[in-house]
A = this chain, B = another copy of it.
Amino acid sequence: MAKRAFKYVGHSVARVDGLEKVTGQAKFVGDIAVPGMLYGKILRSTFPHARIRSIDALQAEALPGVVAVLTAADIGDLNPIYNGRPVIAMDKVRYIGEPVAAVAAEDLATAEEALGLIHVDYEELPATVGIEAAIKPGAPLVHDDKAGNIGTHEKVARGNVDEGFAQSDVIAEDHFTFPMVYHYAMEPHSAIAHVDENEITVWSSAQHPFQVRGDIAKVFKVPAAQVRIIINYLGGGYGSKSYTKFEPLVVALARKAQRPVRICNSVGESMVTVRRHGARVRIKTGVKNDGTIMAREAEIYLDTGGYDDNGPQVTARSATRVLGPYWIPNIHTNAYQVYTNTGSAGSYRAIGAPQVIYAGESQIEILAAKLGMDPAELRAKNLLKKGQELRPGLKGIDADLASSLKTLVRASHWKKSLKKKGAAVGMGCAVTNAGATPVSVALIRMQSDGVANIAAGSTEMGQGVRTTLTQIAAEELTLPMEQFRMLGADTKVTPYDSSTGSSRSTTLMGTAVQKAARDLKQQFIKIGAQTMAVKPNQVHVADGALVCGESRLTFKEAFERRFGKGSGGEMIGRGEAGPEITNNELPVFWEVGMGSAEVEIDRDTGAVKLKKFISVADVGKAIHPEHCIAQEEGAAMQGIGHTFFEQLIYDNGQLINPNLVDYRIPTFSEVPEEFHTVLVENGDGPGPFGVRGMAEGGILSVAPAVCNAIDRATGVRIRDLPLTPERVWRALRDAGK
């Protein structure tokens, strides 16, 4: 890529939504009051598995201030949301917390009071909690049609693993477990719905507005054009707000109430709405004495909870992602989606990867120890080269992994640290097939007052997408960022975008916005060329003006030439990103995450402190370096969470730590003393200016790097998370250390 000085791109400019956010002006769903709005609350199942004999809502309906009570009786005309997941429980409940009824009332207190007046007659059924119990022969079935409680089963294969293991000198086989964790976005799930004869309108905390549009259209059997999803701001996603959550329930309630209804979940309610899949992983890897990996076999069980959310995709991804960033000639992996009587699991940052990368990258260092090799060298020897296939059916690696690993080794002073005796250092490396569906469309609509609205359906969820897209548009159009306004995602206004997830927006929506800006620029150039009586290719654009030699025409002047002074008008640039962005191959890009950890272990208490964490992210090109670093650090902090503290604990199907007191997330005191992110910028991504997606990779290396560091320092390998002091202390004690 030709070097060129950028004015906005590559600079850590002020966030376009910064002022709105720090002054509290930014409106999240809970801040939006639609006129005439009612307040909704959900009555939730108190049994992990039960048949609903009957629901008596008469008393609740009679309570003054109650406008509507929704039960299964009201949704007979609707389709399920996903495979077997009803809008509200029909004949059965499958987890504690499943919506059984919902109330819309004039105020929240009345809605809450009404919940207590709804009488549900349950017939309790045997419940299945935990992967072990669920896959045991004869286990109670969560869904009658899911034999063995297994849903999706994904296989990945290449070569012949038996031959591969036969050719190996050293083989390791290990079992790892990974806890169920909650995303803990600051904003719990919230939605407002309004239904009139023409349109279903939903304000939601949804990452994928167009997907929610499609799901609601399907559930309510109306054309997608009659569903309007509006996302203003979203208070953190991390996957917890991808796919459709309880929006159809709120719509059904609003439909019955014939008034707008808002429901904002409590944290406890959101914790049973979605979580990350807990996992059990058996992994077996064979290497030659020189470190060459010959074969990998894996068996992955993912606890998907009571219903399908994004479980099938998470399962499918994990079967690939367990392979790590290595060339492995012989592969055989199986991943299983396991139903249990707990809240549903869905997407969580780098779906399906943290669980299996923890296993794979722990095992790499187990093997390195057996081989007596520097684990960085073992990795370097096996890293996929550019163009090499991780597995059949996916495009070759599009990044220079070796350069990232070199950067990590250098930035972490890896070689020096290894020389220290008993050094508590470890690392982890990963690639993920990312970018999701390569379909994004954008418009830039310039008005006669010079304001250019960027219509892009990506959800601003704190990641800074509005700022990044504005930088791209400003750079292309050579206009100050202040001249742009980002239209929030609104399916009636902003063009189609397949999702805001899988690190895709800067690459894909960024391309759409860049193309829209170029389209608009070309229109200006045409006007400029006509005005100056020169050829379009003689005109260039600088500082919001068309320039040819000494002649200069501002965009404003060109706009007036187009439509007449004071005559209004609108100039519209259009841009699309489609599968051609990577020549119809998937993934859109490979996301690269590598990190190293140094820990301090208190052998008396088992407390482990993360002293230093170095993260390396290959971003292709950092449009906004500070955002990239903040995303990488944020991802690492979530990794620190599941490594050290976080787990949803179920007791007899009851989540017993649904709050910040009992469910620990990292605080500022857990930020590593040394905490650095290094951005690799080779300009080789498929997005604008050579960008590739990032922000998921940073979560992957923490757990293996920390466990590898503990092992290196103590010789004790811990195969279960989180690393509570008790667990570490017991492990050290059991090993006699």
Give every chain B residue within 8 A of A563 (Cβ-Cβ): 439, 578-579
Contact A572 B495 (CB under 8 A): yes
Q: Which of B210, B441, B493 contacts A493 (CB 8 A)?
A: B493
User: What's the minimum C-beta distance from A393 to chain B, rounded to whole angstroms?
Assistant: 15
| A667 close to B (CB within 8 Å) | no
Instruction: State whether A493 touches B495 (Cβ < 8 A).
Output: no
- Chain B residues with CB below 8 A from A441, complex form: 569-570, 572
Please judge, given known A-B contacts A225-B447, A496-B447, A568-B210, whether A194 and B579 are in contact too, CB under 8 Å: no
Q: Which A475-497 residues have a C-beta within 8 angstroms of B?
A: 485, 492-493, 495-496
Interface residue SS majority, chain A: loop
Interchain CA distance A224-B568 in the complex, whole Å: 11
Q: Is A63 an interface residue (CB 8 A)?
A: no
A439-B564 contact, Cβ under 8 Å, with A223-B449, A492-B493: yes
* Binary contact track A190-227/B, C-beta < 8 Å → 1, others 0: 00001001100000000000100010000000011100
Which chain B residue has the least Cβ–Cβ distance from A584?
B564
Judge if A35 is at the interface, Cβ distance under 8 Å: yes
Q: Are A570 and B496 in contact (CB under 8 A)?
A: yes
Is A34 part of the contact surface with B, judged by Cβ < 8 Å? yes
CB distance from A302 to the nearest CB of B (A): 25
Contact check: which of B259, B437, B451 meets A568 at CB < 8 Å?
A: B437
A34 to B569, CA, bound (A): 30
Complex Cα distance A336/B579, Å? 64
Q: B-facing mask of A237-266, CB < 8 A → 1, else 0?
A: 000000000000000000000011000000
Contact partners of A194 in chain B: CB under 8 A: 35
| A25 located at the interface, meaning its Cβ lies under 8 Å from any Cβ of chain B in the complex | yes
Residues of B within 8 A of A320 (CB): none
Residues of B within 8 A of A198 (CB): 27
Most buried by B among A25, A35, A223, A451: A35
Return A355 CB to nearest CB of chain B, in Å: 28
* Residues of A554-612 contacting chain B, CB below 8 A: 562-564, 567-572, 574, 576, 578-579
Bound: A223/B34 CA distance, A: 23
Q: In the complex the two chains form, is A439's CB within 8 Å of B569's CB?
A: yes
Type the 1/0 row for A667-683, where 1 means its CB is closer than 8 Å to any CB of B.
00000000000000000
In the bound complex, residues from chain B placing their C-beta under 8 Å from that of A578 are: 562-564, 569
Residues on the B chain within 8 Å of A37, using CB? 35-36
Residues on B with beta carbons closer than 8 Å to the beta carbon of A445? 495
In the complex, which residues 488-516 of chain A have their Cβ closer than 8 Å to any Cβ of chain B?
Answer: 492-493, 495-496, 498
Annotate A427-470 by CB proximity to B: 1 below 8 A, 0 otherwise.
Answer: 00000000001110101010111010100000000000000000
Please, what's the 1-or-0 string for A530-572, where 1 marks a CB less than 8 Å from any CB in chain B?
0000000000000000000000000000000011100111111
Give the distance in Å from the alpha carbon of A37 to the alpha carbon of B196 in the complex. 14
Complex Cα distance, B498 from A270, in Å, reads 48
**Closest CB-CB distance, A724 to chain B, in whole Å?**
44
**A575, closest chain B residue (CB):** B572
If the complex has contacts A453-B225, A492-B493, are A35 and B260 also in contact, measured as CB distance less than 8 A? yes
Closest 5 CB pairs of A and B: A35-B36, A36-B36, A496-B570, A441-B570, A439-B569
Chain A residues packing against B (C-beta within 8 Å): 25, 27, 34-37, 194, 197-198, 210, 214, 223-225, 259-260, 437-439, 441, 443, 445, 447-449, 451, 453, 485, 492-493, 495-496, 498, 562-564, 567-572, 574, 576, 578-579
Q: 23 A-B contacts, Cβ less than 8 Å apart?
A: A34-B36, A35-B36, A35-B37, A35-B259, A36-B36, A214-B568, A437-B564, A437-B568, A439-B563, A439-B568, A443-B443, A445-B495, A492-B493, A495-B572, A496-B568, A498-B567, A498-B568, A498-B569, A562-B578, A563-B578, A567-B579, A569-B578, A574-B574
Additional A-B contact list (12), CB under 8 Å, known A437-B568, A492-B493: A27-B197, A34-B36, A437-B567, A438-B564, A438-B567, A439-B568, A439-B569, A441-B569, A448-B496, A495-B570, A496-B569, A562-B578
